[in-house]
Structure 1
Amino acid sequence: SPWRGAVEQALAKSGGPEVASGGTTNGPDAGDIDAASSMSPQDREAMINTMVAGLDDKLRQNPRDAEGWMRLVRSYVVLGKADQARGALGRAIAVFGADSDEAKKFTAFAASLGLTATE
């Protein structure tokens, strides 16, 4: 279906079935993705926003997941939510410390997405 790729990309960008601890859960299967592809654009957007919010919640519970933070920042950028992306970037840097290697990685990653800490 024409929406399958978009849904798969959204799942990957939002962290998909991975949990913040690095483990996996029973994520969407091909049937779930096909079902999502038949949703209205509003329902798809709501589903994607719910997945991103879930990733944000997981990072609040387990904030030492560097890859999760990058997925969250990227998700907000892709969704056109630059302020939320900057907020997530700031939270990620605060968790690991401004002088940490992770903070440098986050800053470079955000810059590669066209995002700076302040705009």
Structure 2
Amino acid sequence: QGKRQCQFLIGIEEEPQFQVKQKVLGRHGQNMKSVAEKTGAKLRLRGRGSGFLEGAEQVESSDPLMLCVSAPDTWSYQEAHRLVWELLESVHSSYRSFRERSGQPAAELRIEVNEGPRPGSY
């Protein structure tokens, strides 16, 4: 069985006071390293706020912020999927608390996953 891929849509726009990119990556990229080491999967942050420049034009994608996962086999994919889901639940919980503390309306957040390769990806 070949490589398995999906994209987790983060559902949070970058805000200087919250820094969603850093919350997903973890200190010194530790969240990503941990999932990669435990599962053998590759994780890449893409889309608005990711800081990743794509294509010949070297511009950030206008797609929503997402975490792309690719895994060499089914076990690796399922385990990475579970760990990323848990990570994003934690990030969403932190964001809800942040909005509450700063007097902003509650955020409607849910984890969305697109299965398969990312359309138009590099």
**Greater helix share, 1 or 2?**
1
User: More relative contact order in 1 or in 2 (CA 8 Å, sep 6+)?
Assistant: 2
TM above 0.5: no
TM-score w.r.t. structure 1 length? 0.36
The TM-score, its normalising length taken from structure 2, stands at 0.35
